[in-house]
Amino acid sequence: MIGIMSAMQEEIQALLNHLEHTEEYTKGKRTYYKGTLFGKEAVLVFSRWGKVASATTATQLINDFDVNELIFTGVAGGIHPDMNIGDIVIGKQLVQHDMNASPLYGLFEIPLLHKTFFDTHPEKREQLTNACQQFIDTYTNVISEKEARSLDIMNPKVVIGDIASGDQFISKASQVQFITTHLESVVCAEMEGAAVAQVCYEYEVPFSIIRIISDKANSEAPIDFPLFVTQIASKYAFEIFKNYLQ
């Protein structure tokens, strides 16, 4: 069974609308939706924002539903200058940019695990990349020209790159500079992925992550963020998972 997580229900609402034979389970103020998605057994849940919320949800998901794969999907702020609104990032390695237990441990190192970066599953990463590229090649069939233009989406691309997570909304130049100075390989930043990656590492569950760039991690936010999440990110997720699961 595949587990699918997001920080906001709007990011996976299109998938929830398509879930068949749905059963709902509520625990820890989360609702887990179990059913059939594009012919595959799946359980969907939104974790809420932040590392604690997402780690708690991932742990519950793994323990209660015995998932053999977990994928996180949602939006992120672009860190690398080549990242543009509407681009898709398939995570390669994830790191917590706000972890600092020095001088006992190195900067960003997770205490006791002796790890700084958590890898996603190579084979599933490649399969997700193909599914994303298949969508991007025909995205104009799903995202109207008017929608794309209103949110500054132009010629979106798929990138495999490292992702930084932390309990901060990245909107200041000083925050971006800290990440780019210390974590040169990072292409985008968000608030959940590395925490879920750590849980999956400890439970030995294959983990993947898809992030859609909604802004450039600065003061220049999208014209309408709620619209981007509900109309763009949700459509992206639906088409990507349709390609991936079928």
- From 10, 11, 190, 239, the catalytic residue: 11
Nearest to 158 by CA among 177, 139, 184, 180: 139
User: Residue 66 catalytic?
Assistant: no
User: Residue 215 catalytic?
Assistant: yes
Q: How many CB atoms lie within 10 A of CB 204?
A: 7
- From 10, 109, 215, 239, the catalytic residue: 215
Q: How many CB atoms lie within 10 A of CB 140?
A: 10
DSSP letter for 115, please: B
b/e 206-220 (16+ beta carbons within 10 angstroms → b): bbbbbbbbbbbbeee
Cis peptide before 111, with omega less than 30 degrees from 0? no
Contact 6, 47 (CB under 8 A): yes
Contact 86, 151 (CB under 8 A): yes
The alpha carbon of residue 143 and the mean position of all alpha carbons in its chain are separated, in whole angstroms, by 20
Instruction: Give catalytic residue positions.
Output: 11, 215
